[in-house]
Amino acid sequence: MAKPVNSTKKPANLPGDKQPLREGEQLLKASFKNSPIPAFVIGKDRSIIYWNGALEKMSGIMAEDVIGSKDHWKAFYHEYRPTMADLIVNERQGEISFWYMGKYKKSDLIEDAYEATDFFPALEGEGKWLRFTASALKDSTGTLIGAVETLEDITGRKLAEDALRESEARYRTLSITDALTGLYNSRQFYDQLRLEIERADRYGHPLSLLLLDIDNFKKFNDSYGHLEGDVVLIRLGEVIRRCLRKTDSAYRFGGEEFTVILPETTGDAATILAERIREEYENEDFHPLDSLESLHETVSVGVAQYIPQEGVNPFLKRVDSSMYQAKRQGKNQVFFRKEQGNTKKQLPH
């Protein structure tokens, strides 16, 4: 006769049993004990189950001081906020975008895992950049029993990448900037002028150009030397910068010639700006060779307003002609000739 079955005995691997969790703990401990990758494990109640040696070294917090607590956040933040592992065990994955906006993605390699890169100011003095992955831990029945988070210190790599970007930005700035005056150079002038002409042709908006040439610059250079001549060039660059709007841009075109691109500006408005630059520059005091006598330099300015569909070369030819007309008329003045195309209403294409 068969023995009666004890109906009160629970099968060993029901979801509520702790055996799968204990087995999972042992497996994780074996996996992470000697791993150089910092990692911690939390249970469903968010208590710390495991804190490996690599994380002890990174955080300065010993495992024996945090195991069983819910203080894992203290390794990364100055005040409480959930870690990614917390959000996973609480099944609040929808909040990851709030806490890690623009810094995370769903893992391509691990199911139910998320990856992120962030800066942690609480780590080691000046903080560290970490790349971290948090994934759900489930028992054999698929029940969520905790989460594991692994971390990688990428501070050195991040700093190197930032330094490279800064170096590239500096190189680009140097490649488009005139070393003496700090204004853009002629190479950048042509690139920007083409862009502004395309916009003017597309939208029918006004566009004007100034060409400035320092009067009698060769005579000044011959009299006082190139170093004093450089001061004259630098000061004109400073005057131009002071007079421009944020949308305008100034360039050293070559030698003692400077250009200014004025988007959304008619020739009449450009003439007013050119006159302001001319007056301010005439009032600058120069003391070459530390002389007590104050000298004043002047500039002749040509103004041209873009004619729709004119293109780069004809536009430059007209502003050059205007500048030379200012020279012929006695220097230290502004010249603007209205062309027929400037007076027509410009319609967008």
In sequence order, what are the residues at sequence separation of 6 or more whose Cβ sits closer than 8 angstroms to the Cβ of residue 102?
Answer: none
Phi and psi at residue 152, to the nearest 5°: -130, 125
Q: Examine the domain organization and report whether 184 and 226 are in the same domain.
A: yes
How many CB atoms lie under 10 A from the CB of residue 28?
19
The pTM (predicted TM-score) of the whole model is 0.59
Mean pLDDT of 12-17: 45
Q: Look up residue 126 and give its two tokens.
A: 């000046």
Q: Is it the case that residue 183 has pLDDT exceeding 70?
A: yes
Q: Is it the case that residue 10 has pLDDT exceeding 50?
A: no
Q: Examine the domain organization and report whether 128 and 96 are in the same domain.
A: yes
pLDDT value at residue 301: 98
Q: Is it the case that residue 21 has pLDDT exceeding 60?
A: no
Q: Is it the case that residue 130 has pLDDT exceeding 60?
A: yes
User: How would you classify the pairing of strands 144-153 and 249-254?
Assistant: unpaired
How many CB atoms lie under 10 A from the CB of residue 174?
10
Confirm whether 3 is domain-assigned. no
Q: How confident is the model at residue 200 (pLDDT cuts 50, 70, 90)?
A: very high
Q: Examine the domain organization and report whether 205 and 104 are in the same domain.
A: no
Domain containing residue 190? 176-339
pLDDT value at residue 1: 44
pLDDT value at residue 331: 97
The tokens 């810094």 sit on which residue?
103
pLDDT value at residue 126: 75
Comparing 27 with 172, which gets the higher pLDDT?
A: 172
Please say which residue of 131, 158, 185 terminates a domain.
Answer: 158
Q: How confident is the model at residue 85 (pLDDT cuts 50, 70, 90)?
A: very high
In sequence order, what are the residues at sequence separation of 6 or more whose Cβ sits closer than 8 angstroms to the Cβ of residue 171?
Answer: none
Q: Is it the case that residue 207 has pLDDT exceeding 80?
A: yes
How many CB atoms lie under 10 A from the CB of residue 74?
15
**Tally of domains within the chain:** 2
Length of the chain as a residue count: 349
**What CATH number has the domain bearing residue 71?**
3.30.450.20
The tokens 């992955």 sit on which residue?
133
pLDDT value at residue 25: 59
Best mean pLDDT range from 36-50, 57-71, 191-205: 191-205
pLDDT value at residue 292: 75
The tokens 């917390």 sit on which residue?
86
Q: How confident is the model at residue 102 (pLDDT cuts 50, 70, 90)?
A: confident
- Mean pLDDT, the chain, whole residue set: 86
Confirm whether 137 is domain-assigned. yes
Q: Which residues are catalytic?
A: 256
Confirm whether 135 is domain-assigned. yes
Mean pLDDT of 201-214: 96
Report the share of the chain in percent with pLDDT over 90. 56
Q: Is it the case that residue 347 has pLDDT exceeding 50?
A: no
Q: Examine the domain organization and report whether 117 and 246 are in the same domain.
A: no
Helix, strand, or coil here: 128?
A: strand
Q: Look up residue 112 and give its two tokens.
A: 């139910």
Q: Look up residue 168 and give its two tokens.
A: 């590239």
How many CB atoms lie under 10 A from the CB of residue 44?
15
Confirm whether 170 is domain-assigned. no
| 203 neighbors 266 (Cβ within 8 angstroms) | no
Q: How confident is the model at residue 343 (pLDDT cuts 50, 70, 90)?
A: low
Confirm whether 32 is domain-assigned. yes
CA-to-CA distance for 274 and 210, rounded, in angstroms?
Answer: 7
Beta bridge partners of 341: none
Please say which residue of 123, 158, 193 terminates a domain.
Answer: 158
Q: Is it the case that residue 13 has pLDDT exceeding 50?
A: no
pLDDT tens per residue across span 166-176? 877 777 777 88
CA-to-CA distance for 72 and 40, rounded, in angstroms?
Answer: 8
pLDDT tens per residue across span 297-337? 999 999 999 999 999 999 999 999 999 999 999 999 999 99
pLDDT value at residue 16: 47
Q: Examine the domain organization and report whether 42 and 113 are in the same domain.
A: yes
Comparing 90 with 110, which gets the higher pLDDT?
A: 90
pLDDT value at residue 27: 62
Terminal Cα-to-Cα distance of the chain (whole angstroms): 99
Helix (H) or strand (E) holding 226: helix 226-243
DSSP string for residues in 60-108: S--HHHHTTSS-GGGGT-SS----HHHHHHTT-GGGHHHHTTTTEEE-S
**What CATH number has the domain bearing residue 204?**
3.30.70.270
Confirm whether 348 is domain-assigned. no
pLDDT tens per residue across span 234-266? 999 999 999 999 999 999 999 999 999 999 999
